Amino acid sequence: MQQLEVISILKKDLNFNDRSIEKLKKFVELILNENKNHNLIARSTESSIWDRHILDSAQLVKFIDFKLTSLADLGSGAGFPGLIIEIFNKNKDFHVKLYEKSPVKRRFLSNVIKELDLSAEVYGDVRDEVLDADIIVCRAFKKLDQVIQVSREIAKKPHKLMILKGQNAQEEINKTLKIKKYSYKLVNSMTNAKSKIILMKIGLK
């Protein structure tokens, strides 16, 4: 899918408004420019950035209750999916927190927030920070059991977990739930027939 097709889906299916679309265009520009110097995204995915990265991240807005107070993105990298969610967000009381251990990527995230006039906050490695959020999202962060371990050990309160995963999602769930049971839902991805989104509720230990 190319830019125009993805933008059409963002507007019609996910309710992104014109202002958000303009910010997404600028965001893509900033990523591609920075990618010349630092490896924010794989060079092989630059030509498909609108569906591989933007739409893949944006589809999470369907499952997010923006009436809650906060969302944490673990291993935010170039800002996927956290900054996409922040660009969509229309509730000034809903706070997006980006956790990223790379200083280079943290500088980039802070620059994007400034350039696009966003309200997201950038933090360091999640294991060194306080994690207090109603929703935790991640994409290409760690395996499911490790994500759950991190979220249960560090999060201050029960939360919803939303993870963008590839074709091995069910296999990872089966392995993880042998140890401890969690209620979950597996949803098909909009961008890849084999990819899935794991939606899970996590209580504290």
| pLDDT tens column, 112-163 | 999 999 999 999 999 899 888 999 999 977 888 888 888 888 887 889 999 9
Assess if residue 117 is contained within a domain: yes
Question: What gap in Å lies between CA 1 and CA 58, rounded to an integer?
Answer: 14
- Name, in order, each residue with C-beta under 8 angstroms of 144's C-beta and a sequence gap of 6 or more: 163, 165, 169, 172, 173, 175, 176, 198
pLDDT per residue as tens digits for the range 12-66: 999 999 999 999 999 999 999 999 999 999 999 999 999 999 999 999 999 999 9
Assess if residue 181 is contained within a domain: yes
Assess if residue 156 is contained within a domain: yes
Domain that holds residue 153: 62-202
pLDDT per residue as tens digits for the range 57-106: 999 999 999 999 999 999 999 999 999 999 999 999 999 999 999 999 99
Assess if residue 178 is contained within a domain: yes
What does each C-alpha distance from 181 to 145, 174, 175, 177, 178 come to in angstroms?
A: 12, 10, 11, 5, 7
Global pTM value: 0.94
Assess if residue 154 is contained within a domain: yes
Domain of residue 126, CATH code: 3.40.50.150
For the chain, list the strands marked E by DSSP.
70-74, 95-99, 121-123, 135-139, 159-165, 184-188, 196-202
What's the total number of domains in the chain?
A: 1
Amino acid 35: pLDDT: 97
What percent of the chain shows pLDDT beyond 90? Answer: 78
Assess if residue 160 is contained within a domain: yes
Residue 91 burial (C-beta neighbours within 10 Å; 0-12, 13-18, 19+): exposed
Assess if residue 19 is contained within a domain: no
